[in-house]
Chain A
């Protein structure tokens, strides 16, 4: 074999080392730099291995692996991975870096960041391994060793890498000690000086750059503001597809499918009767489902809804369809500081607040068709008695500690202040209106006692720090029991990944005693003498709500809650609630040692975003529970979309465009189309009566394919992977559509008697599939399911989910009247919704209230003036900070304020530009443009920083745009009278020409060309007269048509 290479070619290193290692003799032929070897390649790549005369391997990695494989072959997936990684990830950054360092002596440090990231991951992968692949020394090692050699050894070594990547160091040293590698080094690198690689590096073609890395560099240079960053992150959401290949249907599958179709109905269990109170039954699967209790005084947004109540609803509906004995409880969590604060705000008692909001919640969930067995609340006497009972059990068994903590006490109100009742200066960012638990400005969590200049929120008096006695739950003492329980249920139960990770990391960080009492009035009273002026902390109290709500539902609640062996409890919640459900609440129950049912399965969702940002109540961004119905769209459509984008393994977002797409493509075109088409065809051609079905092979195969989807649907549902099951439903519908399409019953029905009976088989099978879909759809879209079943006249026994597709609508069954299921959503409607729920663009700032009225009312010049002033002032603040080189975060926040103000100003001034008499506005803007022009010129002459100039230029352009917008009508207004007159004349003349031709019945083409001329003239006239040419031309056309 011949190896063509050149002096000091880095990539030859791995090849020669591999040849030495495998003992294969290569005939090395040295070429001049830049000489071409492979006849069919334009580029002068080297080294090249000539396997046979005329057969070249020009990829150094493939050649290295080939040489080693000559001796003994491997087909190892790890080697694949590393060779791919080296050529596609490492080379695009390593090669240019080496060129910059060795070739030109000017290291490109920008590339180093990427190289370091790659080295870090390599270091991680080498942990606990001697070589890269499990199979031992392989092509992967030689390839990476060769490529990294000049980076890790010699003159141009990366300083300090040994300390950063110890695992790479061990591996690299071992590689360098191999005789084969030592030999290769002496052959390639003259005198061990890596500078000898220079000529070759400069002459070899560079690998094509990675497009996404290039972007990252650019972004870093531009220092884009946060908004753009958010967009990028959003784009970074990995797209995921499910690969279900059409594996050929096996004979066994076929016969099983046919058996089930014919006789499976007998094996299906009867639908469950739902008789309250539902209690655990001996020998059945008893499932207790809870959804995190929504906090009473927040109106839940779509993210909250999909996070717990809706997910739990889908799962519980599924459980019922499977015949599991399940109970789903939920309710509002009503105690706590926030309710108290809200009550003071709205001048109501806490109880009135709770009543008001509990009603609101109930209405929202009713609208969404959340079908709890019982929706309760935590402000009940059962809550008090059960919580106090659990407390006493914990206390008597020594799990409660007493300790004192420092807290702010308001002497005027004579009480300790909960965090939210204190306001003061943020110790971190000096924001003046920080709350006791969190600063609204910098978003950091703070301790109320650390606030500067604290004030009682109610009476504005200055509170003093006082020490007060509190009760603590001794979590460390219960930890062994908890750990034992978790070890068991992590293995046996269904836990989403985030639930496991969050729980484990909480325990790993060490559990500390947790305070369970608070100095409040609105809560469950602590029964311990000496502490009776305190209430339980809401997070001790709230999960007990699950129990008390069940107790409100049935007096036999203990059958559910003190029955750990027979009851499987599922908690549905958002990921922020995980520790309370997986650590604190289980500890409470285990510590009470009263045979409580402790959680076995935990289904936690990630967050749902709204469009590009977050849902925000204060800014009115996003759709909130009570607003969903204002859109006029059915609840089922919302349910469907929310479940389709359910944030299962990562955050996802609600996007109106996607909403429209999913509705129109999946629901309308796929599912709705299939069902309606089948039913209508059966009604029109067979009087709505199911026909005898004589199955052909292709039909049997369809049954088998449906069974596959059905089984995946069940597998997913059993693990509460609700999002994927929707896709199974859609797949079945797609299969049905394909089946109709390929059999064309509408053609067959007009044919011979045989054809007609075939047509009957096809459509009856399709209608049976529709029936199956109506059942599978039930957990997701209960109303739609009901509508389909009414149209199908579905027998009640169908409403079970069985592992196989069985015939529920036998020949002779008569269906009801079909009608379309879904409506198309128009794009203009979506635009409306987008606007409706966009909310205020920026965080609340003080002048907002004034600004709001200004926007809706007529133009308010005083307001404009005020805002202009504020912009100027804020501009000065920012400039001042920048000149002082203040902290970046501080500058950023001030800049944000400035931008905000500018936006408000823009919003306020827009109406002015449209109104009459905007000369003043034009003048003002002209002035501003001039001024801004000077600023820019000044900066440029001073050679200010580019970013600064750019931002000023942007401002200038913006102003110019505004000016243009304002002055447009003016320029069109007066117009050119002479021109208008001339054109009017022309139009009249041309009009006569056309009429004349028409009356003479001239040739059509001639008339057309004259008409075109006329229209053209009219357009020009319209333009000259300042009209919209579209309207003018349109008018002309219509007239023409009338004639």
Chain B
């Protein structure tokens, strides 16, 4: 819920109400005129589309837009729903490999995918040890880059990353 609140702030979105439908565990967005949207992705996309810097944020080509969709879905169905360690490890590893040759998730600038993945991964990354942060180096690099955009981070805590390689060899 906090993610969408921050997203609305980031996009300068006017007042609305956000609640959680506890039966279906779905986020509900309700505006003053009664317009209602359901679901994290749908709400996030709606907000992004109706904001002023919509072009870069939602992808500049059909390909980019499709890729952003895919990563939002990934966040919702893989990251948010991973409750066992093996699931968590799987997606951390995958994302890390994916980001090996990338600065942002999609294209060459910050997009909605980076925004929501940053929020989706925040708690998990916070709890990583320095050793693990080094192990998932690409993920860490991406995360550190995104969190330094203050309008993205907002009230989230800044997570420290080491600048140089601390652990060498196979001692750990």
Binding site for B on A (CB under 8 A): 39-43, 51-52, 55, 57-59, 61-63, 65-66, 69-70, 73, 75, 77, 80-81, 83-85, 87-89, 91-92, 207-212, 235-248, 712
Contacts and interface: CB of A to CB of B under 8 A. Distances in A.
Contacts of B4: 243
Contacts of A69: 62, 65-66
Nearest to A237: B22
Contact of B13 (A42, A63, A84, A245): A245
Nearest to A67: B66
Interface in B37-65: 37-42, 45-46, 49, 58, 62-63, 65
B74 A81 contact: no
Interface residues of B, number: 54
Given A42-B94, A62-B73, A66-B63, A89 B42 contact: no
Nearest to B84: A208
B109 interface: no
B90 A243 contact: no
A70 to B, nearest CB: 6
Closest 3 CB pairs of A and B: A66-B66, A40-B97, A240-B19
A240 B22 CA distance: 11
Contacts of B78: 208
Given A89-B24, A243-B13, A84 B39 contact: yes
Given A62-B67, A62-B73, A210-B81, A80 B45 contact: yes
Contacts of B49: 75
A55 B69 CA distance: 14
B40 A236 contact: no
Contact of B22 (A211, A235, A245): A235
A276 to B, nearest CB: 39
A236 B22 contact: yes
B5 A243 contact: yes
Nearest to A58: B70
A879 B25 CA distance: 40
B37 A238 contact: no
Contacts of B73: 59, 61-62, 83-84, 87-88
A80 B49 CA distance: 12
Interface string B2-30: 00110011011111111111111110100
A241 B5 contact: yes
B82 interface: yes
B39 A88 contact: yes
Contacts, number: 147
A207 B87 CA distance: 11
A57 B46 CA distance: 22
Nearest to B91: A42
Contacts of B18: 240-243
Contact of A243 (B15, B76, B83): B15
Contacts of B87: 208
B119 to A, nearest CB: 15
A42 B95 CA distance: 10
A238 B30 CA distance: 13
B63 A55 contact: yes
B129 interface: no
Contact of A208 (B20, B24, B82): B82
B94 A40 contact: yes
9 contacts: A42-B90, A42-B93, A62-B67, A62-B70, A81-B39, A83-B73, A91-B77, A210-B81, A242-B17
Contacts of B74: 59
B127 to A, nearest CB: 19
A727 B84 CA distance: 38
Given A58-B70, A62-B67, A69-B65, A84 B14 contact: no
Contacts of A237: 22
Given A40-B94, A236-B22, A245-B14, A57 B8 contact: no
Contacts of B13: 243, 245, 247
Contacts of B76: 84, 87-88
B37 A77 contact: yes
